[in-house]
Structure 1
Amino acid sequence: MVKDLLLIVENSAHANPIIRAAVKMAERMAADLTIEVLTPSPVLIPALAPLTTMYVPDWAMADDHTKRSKQISDMVAESTATIRVVGLHDEIFALARRTGRAGPVADLILIGGEDLWETQWLRRHASETIVMGAGSPLLVLAQGDELPPVQNAVIGWKDSPEARRAVHDLVALATPDAKITVVTVGGFADEHRVAAESAGEVVRHLIRHGLRADWEQIGSDELSDTQTLEAFALENDADLLAIGAFAHARLREAVFGGVTHRLLDKARLPVLFSR
């Protein structure tokens, strides 16, 4: 059961839609909400960050953060949820490394999509830091809409510790009697047999938790695994897509890209990343 939410936003008016969505989620789930505001040193050209970062004294960033925190506190003042506004301010490299590794503890961390951030570099690197080091699942709400009650979800499955963690995190979010489809993508004959065995165990586990679960093996054709999973979830009107994050070696992810990076940046529906 999720009772403690943490929303990560940049110190920018771009974040207002995701703040409102997170407040609605907290009210619906009867959860506490912490809003952590990241105030980086200014960037002359956000698209070129971090190359055009300017030096600003710490006291100036602290003052900027205080003003923005007051604006957010006023925005959420009438909510019935318990909400607190905290923040970090630092030069952009340090801020990306610190996010999610210390400070608030939460059941679930929320972050908005690219359009809800002014500095895309900070969003990408903060997201990776959260996934790799926060110890809590990350929910990306790319469109800035709140997550509805999870009655229909898809989990991308390839047996790994990260994917097993995603199963547990999804159970905590799903409504009673929710439909969960365990999906494996592509694979040769031997891989198909192994996937069937492990996916069958996941289905058994989900059913034991009172959920309606089944397994589907789908081909990727000319699409990437990411596109195939996302397309399947959208075609089946899923409320949420869950995956184990960075299940491949980081070098392989960095060189070839991967499911985690593509969905962190370009998801068209809510995506839950677990590790």
Structure 2
Amino acid sequence: MPFKSVLTVTGARQGEDDLKLAAKLCEEINAHLSVLVVVLASPPAGGEYAAVVSTAWLKEREAEMQQLERRTSVVSKMLSQTAVSADLSSDYPEEAWADDIIGRRARYTDLTVIGPELLATHTLKKRVIEGALFWSGKPLLLVPEGARATLKPKRILVAWDASLEASRAVREALGMLVGADEVRIVMVDPIEDERHHGQEPGADIAAYLVRHDVKVTVDRLPSSNQSTAAVLFRHAIDTAADLMVMGAYGHSRLRERIFGGATRSAIDNPPLPIFLAR
């Protein structure tokens, strides 16, 4: 399915680079750009000092809302100068509920893009990633500093572990896979049985993609006492991949977000653009 609508999220202290990146991606594929400006509300004071600091807290919140208004105005001006179709919204949520709000907004787009500026933040980055992965049902593209971002990649590495999450990531990325010159299905220490990779690891997913006219190569790699993420990232660099497609393994329980090792590595330190879905 082609991406016709792309979401990016920006905070009060970010510049224009992530916005320009998202706009460029939309230009590349003739997609609509949705921008959500988010400022996280300061938590209320608690304990015996609440009465003393409540006035200061209210002033802090007022300053944050003014920040949000100014940032929204700046982003609006920037969007008016781009050639892409765009819409703009803003929100001032409590941190604990920010991922819900971001996720609901992401449901009305095909893809959420997180650029280097947002990746360099801590709290807002975390909320955007969790909102997009747990609450939208849509995929996420992480673009690290110095990486060339494109939604028409020529060389794609698919991290395949035969999981539901990996299957969904492949399906969400199918339009890009079909258009690529080379797609490498990469497995690390694949297990040869019907409950895992089958009798010939990689054969089933390769056959599925070939039916969609995807140009497929299957790589089975040993971990050699390295983490799965390290093996995948090294292979992506060695094969000059433009993009890695992977399933985001994790679950939400009592508002805690718990990610698998490879997912966490992709989120914390992506060496190339990563396309995630779960």
Q: TM-score, normalized by length of structure 1?
A: 0.83
Q: 1:10 to 1:175 in 2, by over 3 A?
A: farther
User: 2:113 — aligned with what?
Assistant: 110
Q: Distance in 1 between matches of 2:90 and 2:183?
A: 36
Change (3 A) 1:247 1:185: farther
**C-alpha deviation, 1:190, in angstroms:** 4.7
Q: Does 1:33 align with 2:36?
A: no
C-alpha contact 2:111 2:140 (8 A) present in aligned 1:
yes
What amino acid sits opposite 1:170 in the alignment? Answer: A
Q: Is residue 227 of structure 2 the alignment partner of residue 234 of structure 1? A: no
> Residue 69 of structure 2 corresponds to which residue in structure 1?
66
Cα 1:87–1:173 shift into 2, 3 Å: farther
Question: C-alpha displacement at 1:59, in angstroms?
Answer: 5.3
Match of 2:154 among 151, 165, 174: 151
Counterpart of 1:134, as a letter, is: S
Pair 1:185-2:188 in alignment: yes
1:247 Cα offset (Å): 5.7
Deviations 1:217-271 (A, max 9, x none): 00111321011111111111111001111168989x9788511111011101000
Calculate percent identity across the aligned residue pairs.
Answer: 24
SS at match of 1:159: coil
User: 1:33-80 CA distances to partner (integer Å, 9 max, x unpaired)?
Assistant: 00111111359xxxxxxxxxx945665433322210111122232221
**What is the distance in 1 between the residues matched to 2:225 and 2:247?**
23
Does the 8 A contact of 1:10 with 1:117 survive in 2?
Answer: no
Residue of structure 1 equivalent to 2:170: 167
Please give the alpha-carbon distance, in whole angstroms, between the structure 2 residues aligned to 1:122 and 1:177: 32
CA shift, 1:90, in A, is: 1.9
Instruction: Say which one has the larger Rg.
Output: 2
Give 5+ residue unaligned stretches, structure 1.
Answer: 44-53
Tell me what 1:3 maps to. Answer: 4
For residues 58 and 113 of structure 2, the distance between their equivalents in structure 1, rounded to whole angstroms, comes to 28
Q: Is the 2:27–2:84 contact (alpha carbons within 8 Å) kept by the matching residues of 1?
A: yes
Q: Distance in 1 between matches of 2:236 and 2:147?
A: 17
RMSD over aligned Cα atoms: 2.9
- Whether 1:125 and 2:127 are equivalent positions in the alignment is yes
Aligned residues of 1:21 and 1:144 also touching (Cα < 8 A): no
Q: 1:101 aligns to what SS in structure 2?
A: helix
Query: In 2, distance between residues paired with 1:254 and 1:101?
Result: 17
2:27 and 2:16 map into 1 onto residues whose CA distance is: 17
Q: Distance in 2 between matches of 1:250 and 1:261?
A: 17
Shift of 1:179: 1.1
Give 1:189 shift. 5.4
Change in Cα spacing, 1:233 to 1:249, as seen in structure 2 (3 Å) is farther
Change (3 A) 1:93 1:193: closer
Report the Cα distance in structure 2 between the residues aligned to 1:231 and 1:105, rounded to whole angstroms.
35
User: Secondary structure of 1:94's partner?
Assistant: helix
Residue in 2 aligned with 1:176? 179
TM-score, reference length from structure 2: 0.83
Cα separation, partners in 2 of 1:64 and 1:117, compared to 1, 3 Å? farther
- Do the aligned partners of 1:24 and 1:146 also contact (CA within 8 Å) in 2? no
Structure 1 residues 172, 247: closer, same or farther in 2, change over 3 A?
A: farther
1:50 match? none
**Partners of 1:56 and 1:197 in 2: CA distance:** 63
Q: Deviations over 1:171-211 (max 9, x none)?
A: 12346253111111014555898356462121122222222
Provide the residue aligned with 2:274 in structure 1: 271
Kept in 1: contact 2:172–2:277 (CA 8 A): yes
3-state DSSP of counterpart to 1:223? coil
In structure 2, runs of 5+ residues without a counterpart are 44-55
Structure 1 match to 2:93: 90
Cα distance, 1:211–1:75 mapped onto 2, change above 3 Å: same
Matching residue within 202, 205, 212 for 1:202: 205
Distance 1:193 1:107 in 2: 30
Aligned to 2:48: none
